[in-house]
Amino acid sequence: MRAFLLAASVTAAFAGTLALTTTEAGAVVCARGVYRAGCAGPNGAAVVRRPVVAPPVRVCKSVLVNGVYVRRCY
């Protein structure tokens, strides 16, 4: 019985300590939308536009293959 009371008191003291301590909230929530992305945190919010994606540049040149010029694009 004495061991049970000791374990119960230690558990109660530990739970009380956890209940009375405070921690700083540092969560950040981000979301990606169709036109822009945004993040909200403890110090405020930010909205960012998506960059414009440029199409890849294709380079074409004529190459001599078996006596015939062939156009190759990379």
pLDDT tier for residue 73 given thresholds of 50, 70 and 90: confident
Q: What is the dihedral angle through the alpha carbons of 26, 31, 32, 33, rounded to the nearest 10 degrees?
A: -140
pLDDT recorded at residue 22:
61
**Global pTM?**
0.30
CA distance 46 to 38: 6
The confidence score (pLDDT) of residue 70 equals 93
To which H or E segment does residue 11 belong?
Answer: helix 2-20
pLDDT for 10-63, tens place per residue? 888 777 776 666 655 566 677 776 667 777 777 777 777 777 788 888 889 999
Burial 14-43 (b: 16+ CB within 10 A, else e): eeeeeeeeeeeeeeeeeeeeeeeeeeeeee
